Amino acid sequence: MTMQRIGRPTAPILGGGNAMETRSGSRGLQQREDLIFEIGSADKTGVDLPAPAGRKDRLGGVARKVDTGLPGLTEPEAVRHYMRLSQKNYAIDLGLFPLGSCTMKHNPRLNEKAARIPGFADIHPMQPQSTVQGALELIDELATWLTTLTGMPAVAMSPKAGAHGELCGMLAIREALIARGEADTRKRVLVPASAHGTNPATAIQCGFVVDEIKADARGRVDMEDLRGKLEDTHDVAGIMLTNPNTCGLFETDIRTIADLIHDAGGYFYCDGANFNAIVGRVRPGDLGVDAMHINLHKTFSTPHGGGGPGSGPTVLSEALAPYAPVPYVVNEGDGFRLIEEAEGEAAESFGRMVAFHGQMGMFVRALAYMLSHGADGLKQVAEDAVLNANYVQARLKDVMTPAFDGYCMHEALFSDAFTADGIETIDIAKALIDEGYHPMTMYFPLVVHGAMLIEPTETESKQELDRFCDALIGIAERAAEGDESLKGAPYLAPHSRLDETQAARKPILKWTPPAPAAIAAE
């Protein structure tokens, strides 16, 4: 069987404690909130209108005969319900969000203002192209920024997430192999052990076979292992490599890796999820990359796609550009035109990935971000993101165990080696909630035991970073001493630690009304 040794405990834990029980179930101003089905009832409504006089049933006897069971709430009850729920949420607008690999940076309000301009927000993808020339120009302008920043000749704008961009790049590689007449023999895609899980999933989705490359002691691609896997080149389709990688480290051998793959007759897919660390400093085209997706919703703000969908434009090299998906925008000098069919000038395209033209709202936000930062500002974004991560690493390295020696890029990675027996990464993560922070990414990447991955992004000031580090240092010291109380954290959250095992084994997915007898007894 495949074996994961990430060391995450999942057994039911010690019961976390309420610091103080209250009769209302609220904790101070953090109010208890029941399910909407529990607070609503059929005899309440937020809309109090008289029944229309003389109304006739025109449903011909097919009207519903039993009650829908939908809860009715008065307007203030409905407003309060959702306000209370929203207050239980943690958001980048509330505080530092150290979730490594997610690039939870501030979303400038200017982006939102631009995205709400009616000419962008209220258009329809099926409008005549002559009426949406401004939107098409924006897509073309953004494409120019992306090809310039990456040093690549072409970009497919339509993919709607990072993983979707990966799919785009790998489909382009497959199409190129079909054109070479080698699609049936070149099936093997090399993927490092530290890769995002979406990389091998994408390769398999495209019909390739995944061959895992080991990491070396420096957290980077083990070159000896790679060379061994390339001794036989006849079945090599390509490599999928993240740079900087998921350990937050720059793959220093990347040029050699690109040459080795190209010499083997394969293509180089670069996962651009961590482009934030190098934007304005490094052009992936100069590194020999054939395809790379860019998470517009990470590098160019609006983390997590603002709730989704995201946007994952994929830049392509000369070798792969002819196979780019439709639709795409062409600038004809006196106007812009959408190429919508894989025929004529787009005859080699591998086809269409999405119904329409991409995630317009994210395009507007990304271009607003680029234009407001400028080329020099984007370069500073990368520099500040890397500086902040290294500041966090430097402050924590004496109490926690950095996974690898040396400077990191945009995220700092620690193992659980510093904790006393019995204290696990999850206990540290849960204790961060009591300190008012969203936990860091934990147990990923899999190559590090009990991994804790912290990405502060360029958003945070030194003052905020210090506050976060002080809190985490306190927890780490308790973890090193073996403070058992950590096993019960969080103590101050609306709910203390949940039993993940029971939640997975016996999930309660549906609310069931209490039995009538129970209602009568109340």
Partner 1 sequence: MSTYYTEDHEWIAVDGDVGTVGITKYAAEQLGDVVFVEVPEGGATYAKGDDMAVVESVKAASDVYAPVTGDVIEGNGELADAPETVNEDPEGKGWFCKLKLSSACELTGLMDAEAYKAYCKEL
Size of the site for partner 1 (CB under 8 A): 15
Which amino acid appears at position 187 of this protein?
K
1 touches partner 1 (CB under 8 A): yes
How near is the Cβ of 501 to partner 1 at its closest, in Å? 4
Would you say the C-alpha torsion 282, 284, 285, 288 has a positive or negative sign? Answer: positive
53 touches partner 1 (CB under 8 A): no
Q: Is 328 helix (H, G, I), strand (E, B) or coil?
A: strand
How near is the Cβ of 486 to partner 1 at its closest, in Å? 19
- Burial (CB < 10 A; 0-12, 13-18, 19+), residue 495, is exposed
Nearer to partner 1 by Cβ, of 8 and 262: the residue is 8
Rounded to a whole number of angstroms, the distance between the first and last alpha carbons of the chain is 53
| Cα-based distances in Å from 317 to 178, 183, 284, 370, 510 | 17, 19, 10, 23, 49
Nearer to partner 1 by Cβ, of 56 and 505: the residue is 505
Nearer to partner 1 by Cβ, of 133 and 501: the residue is 501
Residue span binding partner 1 (CB under 8 A) among the ranges 78-86, 296-304, 395-403, 499-507 = 499-507
> Per-residue x/- marks for partner 1, 160-179, CB under 8 A?
--------------------
5 touches partner 1 (CB under 8 A): yes
Nearer to partner 1 by Cβ, of 8 and 438: the residue is 8
Nearer to partner 1 by Cβ, of 418 and 443: the residue is 443
| Cα-based distances in Å from 223 to 252, 282, 499 | 11, 22, 42
CB 280 within 8 A of CB 130: no
Which residues lie closer than 8 Å to 383 by C-beta, 6 or more apart? 281
Q: What is the spatial distance between Cα 313 and Cα 94, in angstroms, rounded to a whole number?
A: 29
Q: Is 390 helix (H, G, I), strand (E, B) or coil?
A: helix
**In the block, residue with structure tokens 């062409």:** 330
Binding partner 1 (rule: CB under 8 A), the pick from 4, 68, 89, 512 is 4
Report the half-sphere exposure of 203 (CA within 13 A, side-chain side): 28
Residue span binding partner 1 (CB under 8 A) among the ranges 3-11, 22-30, 409-417, 428-436 = 3-11
Nearer to partner 1 by Cβ, of 6 and 387: the residue is 6
508 touches partner 1 (CB under 8 A): no
Binding partner 1 (rule: CB under 8 A), the pick from 323, 414, 443, 468 is 443
66 touches partner 1 (CB under 8 A): no
How near is the Cβ of 492 to partner 1 at its closest, in Å? 24
Write out the residues near partner 1 by the rule CB under 8 A.
1-6, 8-11, 443, 500-501, 504-505
